[in-house]
A and B are shown apart, each in its own frame.
Chain A
């Protein structure tokens, strides 16, 4: 077993675009759930809309800014469609509608009758040419210590983490403003907020749109280093984002970012160790594909332990949980 390589791989996950994408999606979810109390179980749907909204115009040869614009507009439309009928109702309805619409979207884009348009089950490839074309970084390898990346990989990482930083800063500014205070008030008691003159529906819609937008941008960042596979947008994706959010702390700025890092680094570490053990013959009782599943079981176990022993997440305020409200 090459522990050095396992560690370097795990370290790479710390700054990988995937980690950034999940951090971004989790920041969006923290706006929804952590700050506003919206139960969005369809963050995968937002990521899917972002992914296709970006990939399709890019493949059609449209300029890169229009791809981002379409992503934003599609995400906004999804929020309106999800929010209009449900945000006036109890929180559970949004949960039901988001989880099912995310699944509907996944089935629609992977349907064979749309193969010419969305690529069907095969998904899409080669949509990142336009994004690579605007890469200002000259050819060559860049890296810190043992990690080294080519110009494109560096570019993707810079953009993805730049977006994460921007999103975290925006959320930080929003949540310490009166707007954020009202959101938290709505989370605590909608009727109280209403009786004090707050248009609860509008605030919830704004939160849904903003958090959803971050989810869709996360969808773009997620596909930049890989191909677009509709199979990736199943409910498990949503639950990974939830796991990350709960790991880090729901209504925190750093929680989603560190949560995503911990999540992906531990997945990488467990994978490296389990695969290494199998290759070295220490674990003959399982196959590589079984090991791949076992690491998710281990991550599930870690999340369970965290929720039991540190329910506020890494960054949450323990004081908030000491009240039974």
Chain B
């Protein structure tokens, strides 16, 4: 993992690289997503596509609307308008609980482990199509014991990978912050998703665990999954992301390969505020840019 972007894969783009550019094989396509809280426009995205089998980072300063976009895409919040689809299937109006069945699973910014369930129960709960989850079938253990055993084996395997196996009988509430993040990710894998959406997987994780979490996220791609994650840590984004989408003030302001996007002065500025004289509005196009610099990253590596 030490070598930067060594195992990143290029994202194939149709047309010019820039905010809202089309991908050759997108897993998520969203159009005109608009969400306002009262007078505050939290998300106003004209078009965005998430490339399949890649790791895409969604970055942007606080309040850029990243988590809101996450919530909108996963049905935890409803947009004022807009259409979006997963794998060609429209998700408009779908309840969040119907998404894992399609192969889409998400985690939360504030880790949501089920504290008073054991680590193993957290894992097993996440599995789909459980016979014993039907209230009447649950009364007849012989109907689901076999499935339960299989789930336990599968969970044990994933837990071992995430180095949580020794904790399997502990309450999830007894785990450290970083272990909870690991558990949340491990639990998401029990769903057997195609797309994993991670909302700030590194938030509050101690540096010792960061490297291991990064490995796990990279592994998801190796296992054939698509990853979309929100992150603030630029070093991490540079290390594992194949593609970066930048949001500010609810809009997409830049998109491209990490090396290119993260050098984009507008992005650096939006993040670090290093040039205090340039307003964020300049990046989003609300205020005309001095000198007419384009905010989108014009990547030469167009494919």
CA–CA, A266 and B125, complex, Å? 41
- Number of CB contacts from chain A to chain B under 8 A: 115
Number of interface residues of A (CB under 8 A): 30
Cβ of B136 to closest chain A Cβ, rounded Å: 9
- Stretch from B34-42, B100-108, B203-211, B267-275 forming part of the interface with A: B100-108
Inside 8 A of A177's CB, which chain B residues have their CB? 132, 138-139, 141, 144
Cβ of A32 to closest chain B Cβ, rounded Å: 15
CA–CA, A198 and B171, complex, Å? 21
Interface size grouping (class) on chain B: 35 or more
Known pairs A195-B105, A197-B128, A199-B97; A178 contacts B148 (CB<8 A): yes
> B223 contacts the other chain (Cβ, under 8 Å)?
no
Among residues of A, the one whose C-beta sits closest to the C-beta of B143 is A177
Pair B96/A184 contact, Cβ less than 8 Å: no
A319 is contacted by which of B95, B98, B101, B171 (Cβ under 8 Å)?
B171
User: DSSP class of A's interface residues: helix, strand, loop or mixed?
Assistant: helix
CA–CA, A181 and B132, complex, Å? 10
- Stretch from B80-88, B111-119, B214-222, B231-239 forming part of the interface with A: B111-119
CA–CA, A293 and B138, complex, Å? 45
> B296 contacts the other chain (Cβ, under 8 Å)?
no
Among residues of A, the one whose C-beta sits closest to the C-beta of B144 is A178
Known pairs A174-B138, A195-B100; A184 contacts B116 (CB<8 A): yes
Pair B173/A325 contact, Cβ less than 8 Å: yes
Pair A178/B130 contact, Cβ less than 8 Å: yes
Among residues of B, the one whose C-beta sits closest to the C-beta of A186 is B114
> B7 contacts the other chain (Cβ, under 8 Å)?
no
Which residues of chain B in 149-178 are interfacial with respect to chain A, using CB atoms and an 8 Å cutoff?
Answer: 171, 173-174
> A206 contacts the other chain (Cβ, under 8 Å)?
yes
Inside 8 A of A174's CB, which chain B residues have their CB? 135, 138-139
Among residues of B, the one whose C-beta sits closest to the C-beta of A209 is B135
> A215 contacts the other chain (Cβ, under 8 Å)?
no
Q: List 16 A-B contacts (CB under 8 A).
A: A178-B132, A179-B133, A179-B134, A180-B138, A185-B117, A187-B116, A189-B112, A193-B97, A194-B97, A195-B76, A195-B100, A195-B107, A197-B126, A199-B95, A323-B116, A323-B171
